[in-house]
Structure 1
Amino acid sequence: MSTSITTHATHLRPVDVRKDLPEIADLIELCFASTMDADGREYIRQIRRMAMENRGIGLAIPAARRFVVPIQGYVWTESDHIVGNLTLIPYFKGSKVVYMIANVAVHPDYRRRGIARQLTQQGINHAREHGASATWLQVRDDNPGATQLYLSLGFIERARRTNWTFDSSGQPIPPLTPRVTIRRRTMNDWHFQFRWLQEIYPPEISWNLPFQINRLQPGFWREFMRWMNGERMNQWSAWLDDRFLGAAAWEPGNVVTDVIWLATNPLEEDLAAQALLTHARRILPPHRTVTINFPAGFAVKGLEAAGFKAHNTLIWMETSFSNPARNG
């Protein structure tokens, strides 16, 4: 089934990957340059490279990199120039298909004309018509105008997550946390680590993160498979006397930044985060950017004490369809 466009037909149209990518890259960079992280800048470079190479979309970028060049989406044009963009990314959330709306961008000269609303509504229509069970998006918590727009279109807030970053270049390492012992994560730590990981990265949000809890499970077979696949991972735990404070797992990034998955005792999350991440700064490769995705407002003092900075806080929003259409 093709997605119909019933309003503003002369302005709103599907993305044409043969010719639109350069203008889409320019627009996204213009709108988000001040808030873009290293992965975002790499995403823009990938779009430009794809446009220059004129190659099939989705073939040049491995899926593990989690970059999605606009395969599906819509643009808004004025005088044959793209002034608005919306990207649609299909995912599997369990056994159901959902769409992520991303890169909603409108040129500053064309804002407050309802373009973002029209693009977003068309994205919702597209997802529904293509059998999705829901549509998701993420919006910065310091953008109340966009948040109100999405609420008015039926989106509901599901979570708030803060992206923390650390750039090792030139920053002094804080002293180790007194009385806390850091050691290699063991099989005996897994029970609590698993439980806290489930609480911090629940299925409701982990589907859109490069997070697979079973990959962190200890055991000879897991270690052997990681070695066979050439995968690197480092995990360590923190103890205060005989109390288990938490564990951290580091994975090198496929693109620009590395990732740490934190599992902290909810009763001592600041102490756990500070100890685990101070140790991370001592053992991880230098000159790499490290990111942590964590529930907003949690372990803030501990993360800051270890030298991490909040890059942004995103509101995860969803609108679900009780009777999604089915392609046939």
Structure 2
Amino acid sequence: MPSPTPSNHINHIRRVDSPEDLLAVADLIETAFELKGDPEGQAVIRQMRRIARQRTPATIRALRGSSEGFVWIEEGEIVGNLTLMHFHKSSKPRTLIANVAVAPAYQGLGIATALTDYVMRYLQNKPDSEIWLQVRSDNAQAIHIYSKYGFKFEHAIAQWRYSSISNAFLGRLAALSPSRLCSRRRIADWHQQSAWLNANYPKNTRWYQNVNFSAFSPWAWLNPANWIELPNLQHVAYRPEGHLAGVLTWQQTATHADQVWLALPQGANEDESAEILLRYLIEQLKPQRDLALEYPAGRATQGIQNAGFVLGRNLDWMRLEKLQP
């Protein structure tokens, strides 16, 4: 395992243990990740600050089973952070390393590496938990560091965003007549839709997403557990020449943006299918809130852009193969 730097890191690292710490971490993440001009990032920061104001030192300690933070202190100020998010929804516990951030003035001094090294040693006490992280695909230095710890690349995702401002842009695009090619999803479409969803949104990282694909089934209404979610879902199928080419699901949420799920096959027509389905959603169903879309990185890029979506970032999912002693 890489040696921590600086060598006296033990005197600088401590747990997040107060609402003031949480507020300082929110400020740090906003600055380090340059989120002031990012609408989605700002929504996350506002949520972090709202949660911080609702917490007490006692509740922060009590909730360490789901989330716990470690910070780097320099001259009494928090200048580095690493958060562990614990997921227990399935039989296999999982831990996500998140929000590894260092204040710009302190970057390049080994603080992120030292925080990671400290946490990796701490995680040796959780040998049954899978360890995961997300890192920007263009952050070669961080990917190199994580690889040294034994993290392996799983897959990459692109995070897209649509806002109402894009409507003016869409009006200037050449018409594709999506209303003629799209219609309500049929019961018989589910088998193929399910297969495409499982291919595009791998099961090994779906625990992180707020989605239950079984609720997308035409038969989901048979399970009372799905009744609350079903009114929030709409499914649209695209059928050029009468053959199913893709299905879009619009999931209305209580968060800062509604979620869009694309069930498309990989291939030459993927861009066109993505554009037509997304434009149908925007022009015909007329969502009133921002839209968020995750899709495999590098796929349907032109079609998604043509529909007015803006790429936020590409992220690599990495999984630790084995904790090193």
Do the aligned partners of residues 168 and 18 (structure 1) sit closer, same or farther apart at CA in structure 2, a change above 3 Å counting? closer
- 1:156/1:319 contact within 8 Å kept: yes
TM-score (norm 1): 0.85
| Residue aligning to 2:3 | none
Structure 2: 5+ residue runs without aligned partners?
A: 1-6
Q: How many residues align?
A: 312
Do the aligned partners of residues 228 and 81 (structure 1) sit closer, same or farther apart at CA in structure 2, a change above 3 Å counting? closer
Do the aligned partners of residues 297 and 220 (structure 1) sit closer, same or farther apart at CA in structure 2, a change above 3 Å counting? closer
2:314 & 2:287 partners in 1: Cα distance? 26
- 1:99/1:132 contact within 8 Å kept: no
| Residue aligning to 1:15 | 16
Matched, 1:123 2:124: no
Q: How does 1:207-226 map to 2 (within 5 A)?
A: 207-219=207-219, 221-222=221-222
TM-score (norm 2): 0.86
Do the aligned partners of residues 189 and 229 (structure 1) sit closer, same or farther apart at CA in structure 2, a change above 3 Å counting? closer
Query: Could you give the per-residue CA deviations for residues 267-307 of structure 1, whole angstroms, max 9, x where no partner exists?
Result: 33122111111101113444421111111111112212222
| Residue aligning to 2:132 | 136
1:37 & 1:148 partners in 2: Cα distance? 27
- 1:248/1:262 contact within 8 Å kept: yes
Higher helix share: 2
Between 161-170 and 273-282, report the one with greater CA deviation.
161-170
Do the aligned partners of residues 285 and 222 (structure 1) sit closer, same or farther apart at CA in structure 2, a change above 3 Å counting? farther
2:220 & 2:102 partners in 1: Cα distance? 51
How big is the shift at 1:237?
0.1
Q: How does 1:24-35 map to 2 (within 5 A)?
A: 24-34=25-35
| Residue aligning to 2:234 | 234
Do the aligned partners of residues 214 and 305 (structure 1) sit closer, same or farther apart at CA in structure 2, a change above 3 Å counting? same
Do the aligned partners of residues 36 and 154 (structure 1) sit closer, same or farther apart at CA in structure 2, a change above 3 Å counting? farther
Between 11-20 and 157-166, report the one with greater CA deviation.
11-20
Do the aligned partners of residues 78 and 224 (structure 1) sit closer, same or farther apart at CA in structure 2, a change above 3 Å counting? closer
Query: Could you give the per-residue CA deviations for residues 38-82 of structure 1, whole angstroms, max 9, x where no partner exists?
Result: 343223223323333444658xx9xxxxxx9x9402101011111
Query: Could you give the per-residue CA deviations for residues 225-280 of structure 1, whole angstroms, max 9, x where no partner exists?
Result: 65556741111100011221010110112211111111013233122111111101
2:84 & 2:292 partners in 1: Cα distance? 25
| Residue aligning to 1:243 | 243
How many percent identity over aligned positions? 34
Supply the RMSD in Å over aligned alpha carbons: 3.0
Do the aligned partners of residues 111 and 322 (structure 1) sit closer, same or farther apart at CA in structure 2, a change above 3 Å counting? closer
- 2:214/2:220 contact within 8 Å kept: no
Structure 1: 5+ residue runs without aligned partners?
A: 1-5, 62-67
